[in-house]
Structure 1
Amino acid sequence: MPHRDANVHRKVDPEASLVLIGIRGCGKRSLGFIAATALKRRFITEDHYFKEVTGLSRHEYLKQYGSQEFQQRDIEVLKLMLDNHRSRCVIECGLGSLTRPVQEYLRQYSLTNPVVYIARDMGPIQKLLGLDDQAAKLLGEGDPLHRNCSNFEYYNTEDRSSFAAQPDEEAQDRRSVGYSFKLKEAKEDFTRFVRFVTGTDVGHSSYDSPFVLLETPPELRSYTYAIFVRSSDLIDNRVKLLELESGGDAIELCVDCWSPEMAMTVSNQVSVLRRNTHAPIILSVDSHALRVTGNQCSEQRRNLYSQIVEHCLRLAVEYLVVDLDQDHAFIDEVIRNRGMTKIIGQRIFEPSSGVAWDNEECLSAYLNAAGLGCQLVRILRVATEREDNTAIAKFTNKIEMLPGDHPPIIAFNIGSLGRTSQVFNSILTSVSHSAIDRRSRNERDPQILARDAVQALFQSYVLDPLQFYILGGSVAYSLSPAMYNAAFNHCGMDHTYSIPEKPTLAALDQLGRDPNFGGASIVQPWRVQVFQKLAAKSRHAEAIGAINTIMPLRGQSDGIMFPLQEQASRRHLAGPVLGWYGENTDWVGIMTCINRNLSPRNAISPSRTTGLVIGAGGMGRAAIYAMLRLGCRKIFIYNRTLSRAERVARHFNSWAASQVGSTEVVYVLQSLHDDWPDACPPCIIASCVPADPDGDEPPANFEMPMQWLGSPTGGVVLEFAYKPLETPLLRQMRLFRSEMGRPWVLVDGLDNVAEQAIAQFEILTGRKAPRRLMTMEALRNSFDEKTIRARLGINE
């Protein structure tokens, strides 16, 4: 492990080219393509550039000029490639990164650009390249050298979705065990990683609402939790990773052991936690556990701590905990080289210190951290008696009363006697999880679950039980009550979700004014009608012209409404309802389904990608908006009643003229008998025809005209009707796919139901949704046990 380099830089220009390095087989080419798509940049590979400059492939050049001349020319071309493409590119470096001259060049390049070392387990590389053990060993020996010439690191963990290199006909079916396309999960992970590293979209997210979790980081929300996981627990396989996806707003990985090999282990652990939880990562170091060699002097321990912190910064985690007892010059260096990572300055007061919460030392520790430039401050104290919990509120109030802007404070007692203070701490409280089987009891580790803490807040009347509803024309068979009530119980919330006896608009007016009203799901046919009743709405609901979610807007007794940011922090508090806020999560569910299921071959391009939407109701509007948000600029709409399709097209073309610089993005198809227009055949098809007839809308018996299915690379078909689940369209497409051999991915209505409900749950509650639980509840209420097991790929 190299010593810290004071010249490491991670704050880069968002336009600076991203460089990927690593040994053969690590996945640079695939990840580079993903990064270029996510960042909308040109992708340059060393092989292609070498031929462009020399007129010969690398193999041809080697054969013609010999090894020595080839190596020299290869280095020259690689340097030229880096120099000529310093901005708005994604660059893949080949074998040249293993040579000393190129490594030195990359080290200098990393002062201005993100240079990412792609690490990967040697087993899959050896299998991929067909290497014998000796060749694999030789290849692997040079790999750690990449750490010396890079400023970031990404561990390319194995993708569970990659069942086969070429998915067969069944593997493209969402209901099939083998469904997937290669690198599906890596695509999601690496997209988030490169956007974070480059600072892309910081402050410019897709949602732009105080109610959306992605908009507001955990430290700015009320009662958020970080699941505490030790590196040693992961090494000993004592964590059920899939279950960590709920129960916290972040994951804190505590590095409690270290050796020369642990750098790769920690990289892998961060990658695995990201993959399984989709939550922000906090990295911390247990200095006590690291002091294992009795002969270590204090300087050696500081160097060890410094090495671990440097490695943690390389991984571009969202948060890094730094001990405030460290040298101030070291902390200053960490903060300067943090990139987009937020630094949590931490001070732990031991019983031997004699420091109480009302002592000057606590405030001094906070002010010290704030002065150093920490983004958050965590003050912890080992409780020795229950009375230690009562003084914390005075301390945090003192912090909040400080003038000007100052970093958020995390303050609680640790140990079993500190549990009361942990319940009432508002920001990123450390919690345990039932998925962690700890080998031994550590009194300093968290001893409460997030669910316990939330329940305690309801039981102590800090939070209020609220009622949530679903309203629409046909809600008797809705899956939402089962999904929501299971999620409420799982999260420790005393809320209820139900179908009113008379789910009418008049009932909504009555229920929506109840002081204990928490919000409602709005389904067909009222997505557009309720839109007119709102006091405020998100810009997405405004753009779509339809909503599927309303939330109460509360105010003071004098009738003055709280600002939206405060409304978001009061989601679990009852009170007078002065109006409604409207949101639309249908488009979020649709966007998620498209993103997850559209293969890299059909990556969305404004000039080439064509979308097709069937239906002109609220769901059709959401589908058009989702496609536009993803970058599709040519969308066709068909509806049996032509005038409704024309009205929707006018609405979005008017919106697009002011938002995306296009005067026409939605085109109306006149008849099912017409040939496909002069445009690329659609590779994204969304059938938004309701299962039950609604006015002049037909039931879900639509089938695609064969002349519209000309996409040579297939695409994705989303069917939003789910009663019945097997619609005529899905039967038709399954047969068409089998006969034509084109790679169409079929997504049935249950997927979108779950995805939009998950997004809606998070908006209504401000809590991370238990995705697996809600999805399982949707399945349980739709299929028998045998069908569920088959759909999930569980063997008998």
Structure 2
Amino acid sequence: MHHSEIASRTFDRDASLVLVGIRGCGKRSLGFVAATALKRRFITEDHYFKEVTGVTRHEYLQRYGSQEFQRRDIEVLTMMLDNHRSRCVIECGLGSLTRPVQDHLRRYATTNPVVHLVRDINYIQQLLGLDNQSIRLLREGDPVHRTCSNFEFYNVEDQTRVGIPSDGGSPDRRSADYSFKLQDVKEDFTRFVQFITGADVNHSSYDSPFVLLETPPELRSFTHAILVRSSDLMANTVHLEELESGGDAIELCVDRWDPDMAVTVSKQVSLLRRNARTPVILSVDPSSTGIKTVDSPACLNILEHGLRLAVEYLVVDLDQDQAQLAQIVRGRGKTKIIGQQILKPSSGITWGDKSCVALYHDAEKLGCQLVRLLRVATEREDNAAVAEFTNKIRSLPGEHPPLIAYNIGRLGRTSQVFNSILTGVTHPAITSTGNEYDPQIASRDAVRALFQSYMLDPLQFYILGASVAYSLSPAMHNAAIQHCGMSHTYSIPDSPSLAALERLGRDPHFGGASVVQPWRVQVYQKLASKSRHAEAIGAINTIMPLRGRADGTMFSLQEQASRRNQAGRVLGWYGENTDWVGIMTCITRHLSPRNAISARTTGLVIGAGGMARAAIYAMLRLGCRRVFIYNRTQSHAEDVARHFNSWASSQVDSAEVVRVLRSTQDDWPIDACPPSLIASCVPADPDRDEPPANFEMPMQWLGSPTGGVVLELAYKPLDTPLLRQMRRIRSEMGRPWVLSDGLENVTEQGIAQFELMTGRKAPRRLMTLEVLRNYEGESGRFDEKTIQARLDGAGSPIGWVNKE
């Protein structure tokens, strides 16, 4: 590919998204996912053809013959594209294999995102039941889609649910798996289309500098990028599922290249996204097989391919041809470019040289969003020199790109520990040796070194409330703290009281606290600041210290977030609520495409306490605009409804989003669809104002023909009457209700809380394991088999579903 061919990826935010690819690649299912995520109209080639001609494509072919059919098909397809240039998701079927349509798509791709969907060809053959000749023709036709598209997405199969075809879910309507099509890829593709269209910008769910998802790693302190080589992935020397923690980004270094490697790299990026759930950095090792130099066509092809895959960061070598670099920067779309220079001993350049500062400015002039300068250390003194260089760049007046600068090789490890953003690290999940300049320290070693050198301080975290003796939080948080290499502790205070909270919460080593009943209200009134989510919910479950300068002025929230693991005088508390995040995560995970939230979606919340408020807020944030609340004490339900309707009138342009149901004997309101989102927020140990713990759903409220999600937030007991009832109904009526028990939400809100309080990525699997190991139910503890079964499903739609 000649560099002048690098596509532009800057579009109007509303530009329609087009999906192309061979049969069986998942265009229909993923188109539906994209339309739901972007809140757009979904147009399919088959449906549009019938709309225009009055007959199906097959009928038209039978009636008029293949030549006339092809002419009309091309005409209709180009009309479909031209008449729907904005606010649509368009699926292009077989017509995209004809030359006139490909030419039209190439022109279309100058103004719109056109995504080439790729899938394992053997899987497609099995899915469609094709013979070898048919699959060979499909395989030969597919590469042409790369030439008429500007993005690529590899549709990775779900690895956990063996035997369930990803496109169909389970064929049994009574099964919990029935309604799940491409469930795991739903999350991946949602993030992908939101990124390439810019829909995730300024539309965040969290809006807080404390939330890791909201703040890119270059704006946080001591962030790490796990380096994985494409050759290691090909050799199966990486345990992918373990990469979920130990890095704030993952760097895929492409060190093999030939014409067939493009699909391999596409698949590797998708696998890393699926398992690590962090931004991807793509870099090239120019000394490797098939690449040779930074100016080779192969190197440029890899960089262009990285832009097609919409990686979050792309590393370019500043020695590369300047015209090529300018092309890449122009075609970057939403990808951030990291301008890199590796200073070898033979270059003779030291950190003190003016040429180092000049390199930084060259990268800035080129339009790089970040600059990475690495030098092979030849003596330990080089570590002090790089710190001096970093300070020099930081002290430049005005706004400049963030700098990544450290020494590589064994002698450079000190500077790797102290470099503040996106230091390259290794990971215990990678079993190959790499080369001598690859990272040699893991994230947990770097974090441990920061505590040992007093850059970070050991802090005390607590859980505060009346019934915390049996809390699962200490086990979950302490395991995660240790796993990440931190020196903090998380404990239950000896004599919990509000006076104790005042004392503990003013200690310079106070790190934060989980707050449960009955102190949430009292603590809420003592906060110096709170997130807009806590404000909207009217309840908190997390407090964090606010620190400041010696003169008593408080740091900004952005600064507080970057100083999270440092002790200091506490000037006030910041309040946050992670219950709604846990609930939102559970709903999103379990919601099938057919129950995607739309203008017709209805939610139902049982209870009127803090958790019920969090559930209502989660549903509203997900786009549900009609939530019903039922509580035995009606006046409490009315208070909650009044609170959210007042909030909604200023936030979501809707006067009445929450309505009160007065009696379980009443029919479901005729002006609303039956609920497909149900959250039972009846506490395990209810007080007199709450519905009884043995609450069951009135049958006349369960009319949703497509089932939905039922969240049971109580977990003592774990198998509640509601869950038993819903399993019975699912079995008898064949409705695909997906059930989530209380332990799932405990884990999810705890994961969100850990990341808020420490600023480190949570080891999800480990925290889930600790909850399962330490939970003591009516029948004692889970056995290892049950733990493993639930753990294997953690993060997948069926892992937490209760089965008979």
TM range (shorter): over 0.9
- Name the structure 1 match of 2:757: 764
Distance 2:394 2:316 in 1: 22
Deviation at 1:424, TM superposition (A): 0.4
User: Secondary structure of 1:135's partner?
Assistant: helix
Distance 1:651 1:537 in 2: 17
User: Secondary structure of 1:256's partner?
Assistant: strand
User: Cα gap change, 1:38/1:445 in structure 2, threshold over 3 Å: closer, same or farther?
Assistant: same
**Residue pairs, 1:460-499, within 5 angstroms:** 460-499=453-492
Deviation at 1:420, TM superposition (A): 0.7
Which stretch of the first structure deviates more once superposed, 743-752 or 780-789?
Answer: 780-789
Name the amino acid aligned to 2:44. T
Whether 1:437 and 2:443 are equivalent positions in the alignment is no
Provide, for residues 544-565 of structure 1, a one-character-per-residue CA deviation record: whole Å limited to 9, x for no partner: 0001111000111221111111
* TM-score under structure 1 length normalisation: 0.96
User: Secondary structure of 2:520's partner?
Assistant: coil
**Residue pairs, 1:137-156, within 5 angstroms:** 137-156=136-155
- Name the structure 1 match of 2:347: 353
1:342 to 331, 336, 340: 336
Distance 1:288 1:670 in 2: 72
1:391 to 385, 395, 415: 385
Name the amino acid aligned to 1:419. R
Deviation at 1:361, TM superposition (A): 1.5
- Name the structure 1 match of 2:796: none
- Name the structure 1 match of 2:778: none
Deviation at 1:442, TM superposition (A): 1.2
Name the amino acid aligned to 1:443. E
Distance 1:304 1:91 in 2: 32
Distance 2:582 2:175 in 1: 20
Which stretch of the first structure deviates more once superposed, 353-362 or 461-470?
Answer: 353-362
- Name the structure 2 match of 1:86: 85
Distance 1:129 1:441 in 2: 40
- % identity of equivalent residues: 74
**Residue pairs, 1:228-267, within 5 angstroms:** 228-267=227-266
Distance 1:603 1:83 in 2: 28
- Name the structure 1 match of 2:620: 628
Provide, for residues 697-742 of structure 1, a one-character-per-residue CA deviation record: whole Å limited to 9, x for no partner: 2553211111111111111100011111111111111111111111
Which stretch of the first structure deviates more once superposed, 649-658 or 671-680?
Answer: 671-680
Which stretch of the first structure deviates more once superposed, 501-510 or 182-191?
Answer: 501-510
Structure 2 gaps, min length 5: 776-781, 794-798, 800-804
Whether 1:327 and 2:321 are equivalent positions in the alignment is yes
- Name the structure 2 match of 1:613: 605
Distance 1:353 1:205 in 2: 45
Distance 1:437 1:154 in 2: 28
- Name the structure 2 match of 1:517: 510
Deviation at 1:517, TM superposition (A): 0.4
Distance 2:173 2:441 in 1: 44
- Name the structure 1 match of 2:802: none
**Residue pairs, 1:471-620, within 5 angstroms:** 471-606=464-599, 608-620=600-612
Aligned residues: 783
- Name the structure 2 match of 1:646: 638
User: Cα gap change, 1:79/1:441 in structure 2, threshold over 3 Å: closer, same or farther?
Assistant: closer
Distance 2:687 2:361 in 1: 62
Distance 2:734 2:576 in 1: 40
Given that residues 117 and 153 in structure 1 are in contact (C-alpha distance below 8 angstroms), is that contact kept between their aligned partners in structure 2? yes
- Name the structure 1 match of 2:452: 459
User: Secondary structure of 2:521's partner?
Assistant: coil
- Name the structure 1 match of 2:309: 315
User: Secondary structure of 1:188's partner?
Assistant: helix
Distance 1:657 1:792 in 2: 42
Deviation at 1:277, TM superposition (A): 1.1
Name the amino acid aligned to 1:316. A
Whether 1:167 and 2:170 are equivalent positions in the alignment is yes
- Name the structure 2 match of 1:721: 714
User: Secondary structure of 1:289's partner?
Assistant: strand
Given that residues 409 and 437 in structure 2 are in contact (C-alpha distance below 8 angstroms), is that contact kept between their aligned partners in structure 1? yes
Deviation at 1:167, TM superposition (A): 2.9
Deviation at 1:695, TM superposition (A): 5.0
Given that residues 616 and 644 in structure 1 are in contact (C-alpha distance below 8 angstroms), is that contact kept between their aligned partners in structure 2? yes
User: Secondary structure of 1:736's partner?
Assistant: helix
Deviation at 1:292, TM superposition (A): 6.7
Distance 2:257 2:792 in 1: 38
Deviation at 1:26, TM superposition (A): 0.5
Given that residues 254 and 284 in structure 1 are in contact (C-alpha distance below 8 angstroms), is that contact kept between their aligned partners in structure 2? yes
Which stretch of the first structure deviates more once superposed, 405-414 or 518-527?
Answer: 518-527
- Name the structure 2 match of 1:682: 675
Which stretch of the first structure deviates more once superposed, 733-742 or 375-384?
Answer: 733-742
Name the amino acid aligned to 2:373. I
- Name the structure 1 match of 2:723: 730
1:306 to 267, 279, 300: 300
Name the amino acid aligned to 1:721. A
User: Cα gap change, 1:180/1:427 in structure 2, threshold over 3 Å: closer, same or farther?
Assistant: farther
Given that residues 172 and 181 in structure 1 are in contact (C-alpha distance below 8 angstroms), is that contact kept between their aligned partners in structure 2? no
Given that residues 595 and 676 in structure 2 are in contact (C-alpha distance below 8 angstroms), is that contact kept between their aligned partners in structure 1? yes
User: Secondary structure of 1:251's partner?
Assistant: strand
Deviation at 1:789, TM superposition (A): 2.8
Which stretch of the first structure deviates more once superposed, 633-642 or 178-187?
Answer: 178-187
**Residue pairs, 1:43-192, within 5 angstroms:** 43-160=42-159, 163=162, 164=164, 165-167=168-170, 181-192=180-191
Distance 1:407 1:328 in 2: 19
- Name the structure 2 match of 1:198: 197
- Name the structure 1 match of 2:663: 671
Distance 1:328 1:63 in 2: 56
Distance 2:566 2:791 in 1: 38
User: Secondary structure of 2:296's partner?
Assistant: helix
Given that residues 45 and 92 in structure 1 are in contact (C-alpha distance below 8 angstroms), is that contact kept between their aligned partners in structure 2? yes
Deviation at 1:527, TM superposition (A): 2.7
Deviation at 1:112, TM superposition (A): 0.4
- Name the structure 2 match of 1:415: 409
Note the aligned Cα RMSD (angstroms): 1.6
Which stretch of the first structure deviates more once superposed, 3-12 or 103-112?
Answer: 3-12
